[in-house]
């Protein structure tokens, strides 16, 4: 019975990918259809339209075998050795730099938000203390 549940849940995930591809083709969007499908799934999960239990076992199954899903991509890279030449090394450098910029921006933003939250709490505490002293 568990395998049927997993197959059904993977079918739900595939349906979101399919809907994303249809929307991509229908509206000629610059975003890939699979990304649109993931965003639709994210919205559905965030708004609790789709309970997590509807896809939990299927996602767990796919994550367990995720490394096997990357084998075709790795074989594709091996068929194009030019990707591993100078252009490939540039791609690696650009990826590392953009990752560091993203991590730095995320760190700065989280520090900013944390300081803002602390100031809000201090103001709340001061106003509560001031109102009690009156």
pLDDT digits (tens, 9 = 90+) for 56-101: 999 999 999 888 877 776 777 777 776 677 777 888 899 899 999 9
pLDDT at 43: 96
Per residue in 27-39, pLDDT (tens digit) is: 999 999 999 999 9
pTM, two decimals, is 0.57
Taking residue 50's Cβ as centre, other Cβ atoms within 10 Å add up to 17
Domain ranges of the chain: 1-69, 80-134
pLDDT at 88: 75
């Amino acid at each position: 019975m568990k395998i049927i549940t997993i197959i059904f849940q993977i079918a739900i995930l595939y349906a979101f990918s399919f809907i994303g591809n249809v929307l991509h083709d229908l509206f000629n969007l610059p975003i890939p259809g699979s990304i649109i499908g993931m965003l639709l799934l994210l919205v559905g999960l965030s708004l609790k339209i789709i309970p997590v239990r509807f896809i939990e076992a299927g996602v767990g199954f796919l994550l367990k075998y995720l490394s096997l899903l990357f084998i075709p991509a790795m074989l594709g890279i091996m068929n194009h050795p030019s990707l591993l030449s100078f252009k490939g090394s540039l791609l690696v450098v650009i990826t590392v730099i953009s990752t560091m910029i993203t991590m730095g921006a995320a760190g700065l933003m989280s520090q900013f938000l944390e300081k803002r939250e602390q100031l809000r709490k201090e103001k709340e505490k001061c106003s509560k203390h001031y109102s009690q002293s009156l």
